[in-house]
Chain A
Amino acid sequence: MHNQDQKLIFECSTPGRIGYSLPEMDVPALDLNGLLPEGYLREEEPGLPEVSELDIMRHYTALSKRNHGLDSGFYPLGSCTMKYNPKINENVARYNGFAHIHPLQDESSVQGALELMYDLQQHLKEITGMDEVTLQPAAGAHGEWTGLMLIRAYHEANGDTKRTKVIVPDSAHGTNPASATVAGFETITVKSNEKGLVDLEDLRRVVGEDTAALMLTNPNTLGLFEEHILEIADIIHEAGGKVYYDGANLNAVLSKARPGDMGFDVVHLNLHKTFTGPHGGGGPGSGPVGVKSDLIPFLPKPVLVKRGEEFVLDYDRPQSIGRVKPFYGNFGINVRAYTYIRSMGPDGLKAVTENAVLNANYMMRRLAEYYDLPFDQHCKHEFVLSGRRQKKLGVRTLDIAKRLLDFGFHPPTIYFPLNVEECIMIEPTETESKETLDSFIETMIQIAKEAEENPEIVQEAPHTTVVGRLDETTAARKPILKYQKDS
């Protein structure tokens, strides 16, 4: 062990210490040997730690200090929409009547929860311009797969069984093709043109009788709005396919353009992005799916409906694709998203998008002099730079990202999308002040200068973090995936 290593909780353990306070045992504590079949009483104790309550708090407080959250500093991670996570959301989600209700209670005893879910669905329908919404999917990728399963069920119900292919742009997130595969489709890639948008000629070439759907993010992962969206939707619809909207970038178009008005048939939303989830260090998220009316019969069971004044979970859905998740989705995240939408209202959501887009364009213009701007036009909520100019000086985009750590910034998304060399993808969001943006811009300019004048300082970054660059090759070659006493 290195003297600067942060101890693992197992290394803090001392036999005999406890950190729990279980309820009183007020029934006979019968011998377990008599209560379990022979051979089924555990012999070896699990290697869990033995620590006091303070030990636990100190341990996790120390870990938290080794972690950068959005509350710690700017987090311009492209396509992740790292906006402020309002604290009211956390309080509301912890109300006993939301946090401590059981999913299998009688419906009459959870009308408040069902009403919230129903009203959230109504709000999301209006925001996206879709006809119905399910809250069941647990995350964005789960929503993608659910949406594709709906499209598959739709085609099958029409006896249209030869539609085996899903078209995905080359700039798409990796989950798009992966979701298509898991839903039983083959993926076809459509190229981007020199403007970073879907190449219509290529789209016409790949579309056909076997097209089940096109998956599209709009604005795309380059932060550009697909100007020919109606034509794109027409091409797919004329061929008999459906158009799928990946809602990862919805923050760019709230109250400006709705997927339902652009010709999309299915949309998934990432409530942990646009609607302040929060991200939780990687989850839990929530990935509701909205559909146009012809896809409603296929929605996952149960479907939440309103009958008179009562909210009811409807299981009688013969054409449903079935369940995609136990119970009704990530309710706790949905409560947070609902609280957020109700805190913003229609004017607020419109301002969210306007400010997010203005922030992104401001940063893009100010940085364009120092980094290559592959697509020189107004962006939406995010933009991409290329580090190819710096690469010629021996400084890679990865180095730039690591150097940003020394200044207390979380770096942008890097090396994505795949169709831009040395890509740097920046999404500032609307909740950051001009002072924060300026300070990040100045730092990026400084790093660009360092790349010219003193490249080593960038190449060897970070210099101030609790660990330096880690050996990922050995990590993958000789994996150590759990604590071993003598390691």
Chain B
Amino acid sequence: MKHRYLPMTEQDQKAMLEAIGISSVDELFGDIPEQVRFKGELNIKPAKSESSLMKELYKLSKRNADLKENISFLGAGVYDHYTPVIVDHVISRSEFYTAYTPYQPEISQGELQAIFEFQTMICELTGMDVANSSMYDGGTALAEAAMLACGHTKRKNIIVSSAVHPEYRDVLKTYAKGQNLNVIEVPLNDGITDLAQLKELTGEDTAAVIVQYPNFFGRIEPLKELEEVIHDHKAMFVVSSNPLSLGVLTPPGKFGADIVVGDAQPFGIPSGFGGPHCGYFAVTSKLMRKVPGRLVGQTTDDQGRRGFVLTLQAREQHIRRDKATSNICSNQALNALAASVAMTALGKKGVREMAAANIQKAHYAKKAFKEAGFTVVYDGHSFNEFVVKCNKPVKELNQKLLEKGIIGGYDLGRDYPELANHMLIAVTEQRTKEEIDMLVRELGDLHA
């Protein structure tokens, strides 16, 4: 068997068998009991050459309608944003992408420093004291935040706004089941968390209240009023936030959030059919030693040179084993690197300019829909998404739109029965006036 990934020659094999003192490779598998030994050939597709496999998979990829060839107004947690070209050049450096976790700091300073910078940027955007090296994604980060809150407060009820991403809430419920915790959903009032009902539901047994900012419908949750209710009951205030929006929105840290989580996908990470993305996790300093996942800290060597190490590892599974409060082992280092490069390229000015363009373009689109006679539901201050009422099933409309090269908005009826025939439309800085006008026109024609 010759293969470009397998350097062993017949001669090598002979020399190695001799050194071991055996005559065949089979002898090395003699400890596998006869009854469980696999004797046939795996019934999988035969190997393909490099070029023919690339051709086959390219064809397969062309069976998907991608966001490069089509105009996308689909968001709902995953967005089509400007990605500085340099992002891919940096993350393609194999010193980064072929490395393992930086367990040997002396030869991993590059990765460790990059993570340290990521932690800093997340703190800056969220207004929090401490951020970890990243989580799998925004959904699991949110679930871990709830676990942290329950562990810290020794309470069992988690209150979550119905305007939190439906799939994040699903993940939360699965995690909560594992820990025998209760998840209680707060209903909405005109597209934002109903404060009056939240007051009713929050009590001495509430570990955390979780809201999304901007919420699933693009609306700006009243963090100030929410904070008062939550902290009155000594519950933890958890905010799931699109980090790009924090370029223009007052950061949750300013409103007294205890934990801020979310997904850094808007910063240089492709939609990629939903993953891998990059969760982030930020807390106030009092929760520093309870953060799940890896943390990188600054220190020095014996000559006083600055260096970075994985730190506060007493929190983690490989030390605590069954006493650990989280089992997370990996992080999303490469995607955190991508996000860091994008945040660096945007910088202080660009992150605001890009976030502002989202608001302004979405606002333009919302206005255009209203002028075309559509009803915008939950109308009010919003970031880059809003809800349009349709008179036909969204699935049907989207199939028609795709024929025109448009990927339409999210079908809200999938998660909110009361919002059947309602479309959640995302307008990022990537969309041009012409594209927005075309969407309004096409949807208008389909309604006629």
Q: List 25 interface pairs A-B (beta carbons < 8 Å), by A numbering.
A: A2-B305, A18-B350, A25-B360, A27-B364, A45-B349, A56-B344, A92-B57, A97-B63, A102-B407, A104-B76, A106-B402, A174-B316, A179-B327, A230-B33, A253-B32, A279-B97, A281-B114, A284-B333, A321-B174, A331-B276, A348-B47, A361-B20, A366-B19, A479-B297, A481-B119
Separation in Å of the A125 CB from the closest CB of chain B?
A: 10
Indicate if the CB atoms of A405 and B272 lie closer than 8 Å.
no
Q: Which of B35, B38, B110 contacts A67 (CB 8 A)?
A: B110
Which residue of the partner chain, among B58, B136, B275, contacts A332 with CB atoms under 8 Å? B275
> What separation, in Å, do the CA atoms of A35 and B93 have in the docked complex?
41
Are B64 and A98 closer than 8 Å at their CB atoms?
Answer: yes
| Nearest-Cβ distance from residue A295 to partner chain B, whole angstroms | 16
Q: Given the complex, which residues of B lie within 8 Å of A262, measured CB to CB? A: 36
- Shortest Cβ distance from B174 into chain A, in angstroms? 4
- Asked if A397 is at the interface of the complex by the 8 Å CB criterion, the answer is no
B273 contacts A327, C-beta separation under 8 Å: yes
B86 at the interface (CB under 8 A from A): yes
- CB pair A103–B271 under 8 Å, yes or no, is yes
A433 to B271, CA, bound (A): 38
Cross-chain contact B106 with A469 (CB below 8 angstroms) = yes
Contact across chains for B110 and A325 when beta carbons are under 8 A apart: no
Given known pairs A138-B140, A434-B12, A487-B298, the reply for A103 and B274 (CB within 8 Å) is yes
Query: Inside 8 A of B58's CB, which chain A residues have their CB?
Result: 92, 95, 97
Instruction: Report, as a range, how many residues of chain B touch the other chain.
Output: 35 or more
Tell me which residues across on chain A come within 8 A of B334, comparing CB atoms. 280-284
Going nearest first, the 3 A-B pairs with the smallest beta carbon separation are A327-B274, A345-B47, A97-B61
Interchain Cβ contacts within 8 Å, total number: 706
- Report if A105-B65 is in contact (Cβ < 8 Å); known contacts: A20-B345, A25-B360, A345-B48: yes
What is the distance, in angstroms, from B203's C-beta to the closest C-beta of chain A? 24
Select A63's contact among B5, B110, B168, B301, beta carbons within 8 Å: B110
Q: Which chain A residue shows the least CB distance to B411?
A: A104
Any A CB within 8 A of the CB of B201: no
**Is there an interface contact between B54 and A92, defined as CB atoms closer than 8 Å?**
yes
Interface segment out of the listed B153-161, B204-212, B231-239, B335-343 = B335-343
A346 to B47, CA, bound (A): 7
Do B1 and A63 touch (CB < 8 A)?
A: no
**Contact yes or no, A282 B330, CB < 8 A:** yes
Q: Determine whether the beta carbon of A332 is less than 8 Å from that of B98.
A: no
Asked if A257 contacts B137 (CB within 8 A), the reply is no
Which of B38, B105, B171, B327: most chain A Cβ within 10 A?
Answer: B327
Would B28 and A103 count as touching, CB distance under 8 A? no
- Chain B residue numbers with a CB within 8 Å of A405 are 104, 106-107
The 8 Å CB contact of A326, one of B27, B168, B328, B335, is: B168
Cβ contact within 8 Å between A184 and B178: yes
Task: Annotate B82-126 by CB proximity to A: 1 below 8 A, 0 otherwise.
Answer: 101010111011111111111111111111011011011101110
CB nearest neighbor in B for A81: B100
Are the C-beta atoms of A47 and B348 separated by less than 8 Å? yes
Q: Which residue of A lies closest to B117 (CB)?
A: A9
* B-contact bits for A34-78, CB 8 A (1 contact / 0 none): 011101111101111111010011011111111111111001010
A370 located at the interface, meaning its Cβ lies under 8 Å from any Cβ of chain B in the complex: no
User: How far, in Å, is B376 (CB) from chain A's closest CB?
Assistant: 14
Q: Closest Cβ of chain A: how far from B439's Cβ, in Å?
A: 13
Residue pair A64, B110 in contact (C-beta under 8 Å) = yes
Do A284 and B335 touch across chains, with their CB atoms under 8 A apart? yes
Instruction: Kindly list chain A residues whose C-beta atoms are within 8 Å of the C-beta of B286.
Output: none
Between B246, B300, B433, the greatest number of chain A beta carbons within 10 A of the residue's beta carbon is seen for: B300
Cα distance A352–B50 when bound, in Å?
Answer: 18
Query: A-facing mask of B283-298, CB < 8 A → 1, else 0?
Result: 0000010000011111
Q: Quick check: A479 and B311 within 8 Å, CB to CB?
A: yes
A residues near B349, Cβ cutoff 8 Å? 18, 45, 50
In the complex the two chains form, what is the Cα distance from A481 to B347 in whole Å? Answer: 20
In the complex, which residues 306-361 of chain B have their Cβ closer than 8 Å to any Cβ of chain A? 306-309, 311-314, 316-335, 337, 340-341, 343-354, 356-357, 359-361
Which chain A residues border B347 with CB–CB below 8 Å? 13, 17-20, 48-51
> B8 on the interface (CB 8 Å rule)?
yes
| Inter-chain contacts of A68 with B (CB < 8 A) | 95, 99, 104, 107-108
Contact partner of A342 (CB less than 8 A), chosen from B53, B249, B354, B430, is B53
A328-345: CB near B (< 8 Å → 1, else 0) gives 111111000001011111
Q: Which of B12, B354, B399 contacts A108 (CB 8 A)?
A: B399
B78 within 8 A of A: yes
Q: How far is the CB of B94 from chain A (nearest CB, A)?
A: 4
The answer for the CA separation of A178 and B324 in the assembled complex, in Å, is 6
A229 within 8 A of B: yes
Complex Cα distance, B341 from A113, in Å, reads 28
Given contacts A102-B74, A355-B6, contact A475 B298 (CB under 8 A): yes
- Specify the chain B residue showing the minimal Cβ separation from A87: B94
Would B274 and A339 count as touching, CB distance under 8 A?
no
A37-B222, A113-B64 given; A358·B72 CB < 8 A: no
Could you say which of B222, B330, B399 has the most chain A C-beta atoms within 10 Å of its C-beta? B330
- B360, A67: Cβ atoms closer than 8 Å: no
Main secondary structure of the interface of A (DSSP, over half): loop
List chain A residues, Cβ under 8 A from B20.
358, 361-362, 365
CA distance A308 to B189 in the complex (A): 43
Interface mask (B121-148 → A, CB under 8 Å = 1, otherwise 0): 1011100001101101111100000010
Closest B residue to A93 by beta carbon equals B272
Contact with A along B356-375 (1 / 0, CB 8 A): 11011101100000000000
A433 contacts which of B7, B113, B278 (Cβ < 8 Å)? B7
Min C-beta distance of B377 to chain A, whole Å: 18
Residues of B within 8 A of A104 (CB): 74, 76, 78, 410
What separation, in Å, do the CA atoms of A56 and B346 have in the docked complex? 11
Given A20-B345, A66-B113, A106-B399, 11 more A-B residue pairs with CB atoms under 8 Å apart are A21-B82, A65-B95, A104-B74, A113-B273, A141-B327, A174-B324, A175-B318, A227-B32, A283-B330, A472-B309, A482-B119
Residues of A near B13 (CB, < 8 A) are 358
Complex-state Cα separation, A228 to B33, whole angstroms: 8
> Contacts A105-B65, A465-B106; is A175 near B17 (CB within 8 Å)?
no
Identity of the chain A residue whose Cβ is nearest the Cβ of B248 in the assembled complex: A42
Assuming the contacts A109-B64, A333-B276, A342-B53, asked whether A63 and B114 have C-beta atoms less than 8 A apart, the reply is: yes
Q: Across the two chains, which residue of chain B brings its CB closest to A401?
A: B104
Q: Which of A96-137 contact B (CB under 8 A)?
A: 96-106, 108-113, 115-116, 122-123, 126-127, 129
User: How far apart are B210's CB and chain A's nearest CB, in angstroms?
Assistant: 15
Contacts of A111 in B (CB 8 A): 63-64
Pick from B19, B98, B104, B121: contact of A48, CB below 8 A: B121
Instruction: Kindly state whether residue A317 has any CB partner on chain B within 8 Å.
Output: no
- Tell me the nearest residue of chain B to A479, going by C-beta: B297
Contact in complex: A351, B247 (CB < 8 Å):
no
Residues of chain A contacted by B7 (CB below 8 angstroms) = 431-434
Do B381 and A139 have beta carbons less than 8 Å apart?
no
- Is B200 an interface residue, CB under 8 A from the partner? no
| Contact in complex: B302, A362 (CB < 8 Å) | no
